[in-house]
Structure 1
Amino acid sequence: MQQMLIPTSSGQTSLANNANILYECIVERHHFFLNRKYYLQLTNQSLTLSEKQNQQDPKYIYQLKIDKVFTWSLQNNKIVGFQLPYQDKIKDFFGNPNDMVNLKAKMGAFVCYEKIEVFYKKEEILQTGSFGKVTKEICRFTSNRVAIKSVKCQNNQSPAIKNEIEILKRLKQSNALNILEIKEVYKDELNYYIVTEYIPGSNLKQHLDRRNKPFTMQEALSIMEALLKGLQSIHQNGIIHRDLKPANLMYHNNQIKIIDFGLACLNGKQLEQYPSCGTAGYSAPEVLNVWNKKQAYDFKVDLFSAGCILYKLLTLDGLFNSENEKETFRNNKLCQFTIKEKGSVFDLVQLLVKAEPQQRLDCCQAMEAVQALLDYKYFDVNTWYANKLKSYQKGRSQCEFNQEPQTKLSRQCSLTSIKHQEPQTERQRNLPKKIEQN
């Protein structure tokens, strides 16, 4: 296998195989008598340029960091090259415009670009808030539509913005499911600009506000299934979202995408970055009480939020609804609520919003229960949960760290409360007869 040189943190070089290569092309340095050709390779660590195709002894090594501002060269409304700092000088490189567009797209989440107005044209404002605003814009070079979140980099906000960028970058590299995809990052003196995919339609809160009646159980569970798939990807990457709510879920063509990672953190940094955060009515009580207990919470705070969302889908009411926001916050903090509705799906809500995290379902267990409710008409959530308690020790289950997707057959084997002759749902009847185990 071909190997290439990658700079280490010490500035030296180390070998990495071409599985890390994100893009390759040829660029030129223009000289007075003769242009010089370089082979360019982009990895998730660096941009290297070498006169040799195998990238041995590259002359230029540009390490990728979100703090660095990368400059593109434009001519006749085309991206024709870029500039690199080298020995206190700026070196210009030129390439095929199509290659430059592709390189820019591949490198977008690893460095900051400048002069965003040169690359994007604003179409409309989608959202405004204390954080800044989100606009829908169109790329002047590809005609692709994107969403751009602009955040002021004043009042020491830069660390929080960089944290959000790093989290979105990590999720993109892992090909996370049902997650908003970051495209590029720009910066000027006042703002950071996070460019993401544009998702048409409305967020789930807007859909709920327009509805006259709740979602059906099947519809609500299908939304939850998509939400939990995204949440599994988030947790597998060691990330806690901390602000799951209908307004942070885009809903289009029955598809869900999780957005807004402004309050997300890496597991282990819960007490370093906005320890008590989220939205009243959807936050786990251990998050709102963190200053009293001074204990780090874990991934299960997102499952509490998911339970609140499920209840909202089924009833159009908030779990902690009260006459004013202050009372809602108090009820949420004390975890005081009443669920009058009956049925297995509301039993699932109860398991997701347990006040004690140790008694709350984790993401893998919640997914198993949701899929069983979709597949089996008379699935008994409480019986299933009792069997789970026998299988897992108290506290976070190992399932949270072993979230390989289950096949239909493996789910059948694990659901001990379901009888072989149980009536099937419409979803189950529509599944292919032959089941192959991965």
Structure 2
Amino acid sequence: MSEDWADRTYVLEAVKQRGNALKYADEAFKKDREIVLEAVKKNGLIIQYADSSLKRDREIVLEAVKQRGYAIQYADSLLKKDREIVLECVKQDGLALEYVDLSLQKDREIVLAAVKQNGLALRYADSSLKKDREIALESVKQRGYAIQYADSLLKKDREIVLEAVKQDGLALQYAYFQNDREIVLEAVKQNGSAVEYADSSLKKDREFILESVKQHGLTLKYADSLLKKDREVVSEAVKQDILALKYVDSSFKRDREFILEAVKQHSLALEYADSSLQRDIVFTYSLFKLNKENARKFSPSITKTIEESINLQRKLSSNIIEQYSKIFMDEKDLYYAIELTSLFNPTPKVLGYGGEGVAFKVFHKSSKSLRALKLKYDPEESEESTKETINLLNRTDIEGKIKCFDCEIIQNHLYSVMELGEESLSNYISRNNESEIYRNGFIKKEKLIEILEIFIKVLNSVQSIHDHNILHRDLDPQNIVKVQDLYKIIDFETSRVIKTGNSITIARGKFAYMSPEVSHDNYSDDLLKSGDDEKLAHNVGQITISCDIFSLGCILLKLLTNCPLQLCSTFVNDSDVSKYNDKYPYFSGHGKYFYTVVTTTEGEMKLHYAIEKLINETINPDLGVNNILIRSIISMIQRDSSKRLDCYSHKLTIENILKFLKGEIKDITLNIEKQVGELKKISPLRSYSQLAEENNKITDEKTKLSDENSNLLERIKMLEEEIRKLTQTI
């Protein structure tokens, strides 16, 4: 090999293939002009191994810097003053400006060429050129971080700073506009970590922080403490980076639902969970269903209890009947029912958790049937209120209410044993979603018929409750369960029953299905406890069965579309609706709930417009039922409770839609209007732009009439003056 590197022909061919070969050549060949020239054409930096005499060779140095600008550092000092060579080197690598002669670091053309290639080359420019606005602007456009080398006056130049942060958000740390909302938002869009350098006032700005954590979850660290309590902000941060859990408010570290969602993303979330969750039976059971190994590590003792219960259930023969007894052990948390072995053996299967309690599937000894056991988390506060709730639950004369077999108080906790539903309406919607019926264009006609038939059964059940002067006020798909061929209403035990002439059930509604009048704080716990029937009657006067009708409209919309029951905030707040087309996502998980939207005429109009668009995207208009179906939905989901109609009216409408879909009737509109005259009062649907245009026309007409009226008054005055003059003449 050593003989080869001493062979000129071999070395020449080697450097033509790979310039680095010069490094291994005999010293004699490092003085060979032809060999060195060929080598630098392949790798300019190889000039460092050339003989010093060739480092003064202008042609060789020029070829070297054309290939690698940085090669200028190995050139002879005289050539570092050569303007042509230097210009070529900075065009290839702007940072090569560091090695050129100081005189050329003052050359405006050379410096401009250098910063266009690499903005950070501004660092090596003469101080006089760091004050040059054009050079500074070109630098930051190429590399935003270059602003740190600009003159202090140019760091106050808004245009330069804006260009810098657009290119590199972290350039914000060197700017003088850390409280400028536009500039800081641009910085955050480019790099979420820029929030660290924002003014403290902006760290309290929700929009700014939300944008930041979407880019870099860990920037939650710099957010104001109040925003670390904001669920949407914190969720976005954790979604982007699980390690952001380190900076969330401590309340989230105790939040079962939040931590479980985070665990689904990464088991590392458990390291940030509050220690109280290790003693939380409900949380551990949910975690166990997600990942048994994680549950074992997180809460060994509770997980062991769960596994022993499951193993026991597997070992028992099928003919062993679970014992049913009212003897509870003396422990505070037995109503969670994981350790209720004195009541049920083996441990009951959890059906679901709610805000008020937990439900289990159990086997009842005497009837030898499966039933649902529900236990409330919180102790009862009012003996009178609890008795009324128990009386309501035990009623057997309401067809649409879930049948209750037993309802009592044990250790001041309410429990109830009811017939077991096959699935909730929420489960049905989830199954449809898994089958992707909402994602593959229009839903099929057969599925539409199935959904409407189910909704009629729901209407029947709610109607039976209303017929007994009972208002549920917490209707949603989770509170409606299938029992054989019926859909029955559950969760009456979470309600308060009061009497003000007629009996009315007041429950805590869920925001997505809540009517506007229910959401108003027209009554309080103090008012309910006061016993003042006159005040109560006044306050609940606006709360009628129409509250449930509003919820039913939301449920029907959910059944048909599975859309988030929140209207996009941007659409609601935007006065210019011309930019919103049919494909716009009007419904958003972060939007405004319907009960808040319909409180204004414009909001209600926009919601109805969005519902129309959504239904027409979900159901094929060619089926011929969309218009009347939309009318029915918007008649339910409207502000004026007196115009929502009742279950019977909507049942007639849906029944006629079904008849039309099945080919049993030909004129759906005529048939419905004969039966439900009130539907005639629902105005035809128009686009928001049409309504806005009509409003403008009415305003113009009013203005014109006002002008005409003024002219007439002026004319009357003139006539009166003429009459007065004529009278005087006579």
Shift of 1:331: 3.0
Residue pairs, 1:276-287, within 5 angstroms: 277-287=508-518
* Greater RCO, 1 or 2 (C-alpha within 8 Å, sep 6+): 1
Equivalent position of 1:263 in the other structure: 495
Equivalent position of 1:115 in the other structure: 327
Q: Which letter does structure 1 place at the counterpart of 2:467?
A: Q
Shift of 1:310: 0.7
Pairing partner for 2:519 from 274, 282, 288: 288
Shift of 1:386: 9.8
Pairing partner for 1:134 from 332, 338, 359: 359
Equivalent position of 1:205 in the other structure: 426
Q: Is the 8 A contact 1:120 1:140 kept in 2?
A: no
SS of 1:241 mapped into structure 2: coil
Equivalent position of 1:99 in the other structure: none
Q: Does 1:302 align with 2:302?
A: no
| 1:256 to 1:264, Cα distance in 2 relative to 1, 3 A | farther
Counterpart-to-counterpart distance in 2, 1:158 and 1:126: 28
Q: Which letter does structure 1 place at the counterpart of 2:658?
A: L
Q: Is the 8 A contact 1:289 1:333 kept in 2?
A: no
Counterpart-to-counterpart distance in 2, 1:191 and 1:316: 36
Counterpart-to-counterpart distance in 2, 1:343 and 1:358: 22
Q: Is the 8 A contact 2:380 2:414 kept in 1?
A: no
Q: Which letter does structure 1 place at the counterpart of 2:668?
A: F
Equivalent position of 2:259 in the other structure: none
Counterpart-to-counterpart distance in 1, 2:378 and 2:456: 36
Counterpart-to-counterpart distance in 1, 2:483 and 2:381: 35
Q: Is the 8 A contact 2:653 2:676 kept in 1?
A: no
Residue pairs, 1:174-323, within 5 angstroms: 174=397, 176-200=398-422, 202-210=423-431, 211=433, 212-214=436-438, 216-251=447-482, 255-261=486-492, 262-263=494-495, 265=497, 268=500, 274=506, 277-291=508-522, 294=539, 295-322=541-568, 323=588
Q: Which letter does structure 2 place at the counterpart of 1:136?
A: K
Q: Is the 8 A contact 2:472 2:505 kept in 1?
A: no
SS of 1:380 mapped into structure 2: helix
Counterpart-to-counterpart distance in 1, 2:352 and 2:567: 25
SS of 2:592 mapped into structure 1: helix
Equivalent position of 2:673 in the other structure: 384
Equivalent position of 1:407 in the other structure: none
Q: Which letter does structure 2 place at the counterpart of 1:305?
A: S
Counterpart-to-counterpart distance in 2, 1:266 and 1:150: 22
| 1:265 to 1:381, Cα distance in 2 relative to 1, 3 A | farther
Q: Is the 8 A contact 1:114 1:186 kept in 2?
A: no
Equivalent position of 1:368 in the other structure: 652
Q: TM-score scaled to structure 1, two decimals?
A: 0.55
Unaligned runs of 5+ in 1: 1-112, 393-438
Counterpart-to-counterpart distance in 2, 1:346 and 1:376: 15
Deviations for 1:197-252, whole angstroms, at most 9, x for unmatched residues? Answer: 1123x311122234122463312211111011111110111100101111111136
Q: Does 1:327 align with 2:592?
A: yes
| Structure (1/2) with the larger helix percentage | 2
Equivalent position of 1:410 in the other structure: none
Q: Is the 8 A contact 1:125 1:135 kept in 2?
A: yes
| 1:333 to 1:140, Cα distance in 2 relative to 1, 3 A | farther
Equivalent position of 1:11 in the other structure: none
Counterpart-to-counterpart distance in 1, 2:499 and 2:670: 29
Aligned residue pairs, count: 276
Unaligned runs of 5+ in 2: 1-324, 329-339, 524-537, 569-587, 616-625, 662-666, 682-730
Q: Is the 8 A contact 2:470 2:503 kept in 1?
A: no
Equivalent position of 2:185 in the other structure: none
Q: Is the 8 A contact 1:263 1:278 kept in 2?
A: no
Q: Which letter does structure 2 place at the counterpart of 1:168?
A: L
Deviations for 1:340-383, whole angstroms, at most 9, x for unmatched residues? Answer: 23432122111222210111111221122122222234412897
| 1:161 to 1:147, Cα distance in 2 relative to 1, 3 A | farther
Q: Is the 8 A contact 2:326 2:343 kept in 1?
A: no
Counterpart-to-counterpart distance in 2, 1:301 and 1:164: 20
Q: Based on CA coordinates, which of the two structures has the bigger radius of gyration?
A: 2
Q: Is the 8 A contact 1:225 1:371 kept in 2?
A: yes
SS of 1:281 mapped into structure 2: helix
Counterpart-to-counterpart distance in 2, 1:390 and 1:308: 18
Equivalent position of 2:251 in the other structure: none
Q: Which letter does structure 2 place at the counterpart of 1:162?
A: K
Counterpart-to-counterpart distance in 1, 2:543 and 2:429: 30
Pairing partner for 2:632 from 348, 360, 366: 348
Equivalent position of 1:22 in the other structure: none
Counterpart-to-counterpart distance in 1, 2:417 and 2:437: 35
Counterpart-to-counterpart distance in 2, 1:142 and 1:155: 29
Counterpart-to-counterpart distance in 2, 1:199 and 1:305: 21
Counterpart-to-counterpart distance in 2, 1:253 and 1:124: 21
Counterpart-to-counterpart distance in 2, 1:264 and 1:155: 11
Counterpart-to-counterpart distance in 2, 1:387 and 1:187: 46
Q: Which letter does structure 1 place at the counterpart of 2:516?
A: P
Shift of 1:152: 4.5
Equivalent position of 1:143 in the other structure: 368
Counterpart-to-counterpart distance in 2, 1:145 and 1:283: 32
Counterpart-to-counterpart distance in 1, 2:653 and 2:639: 19
Shift of 1:132: 2.0
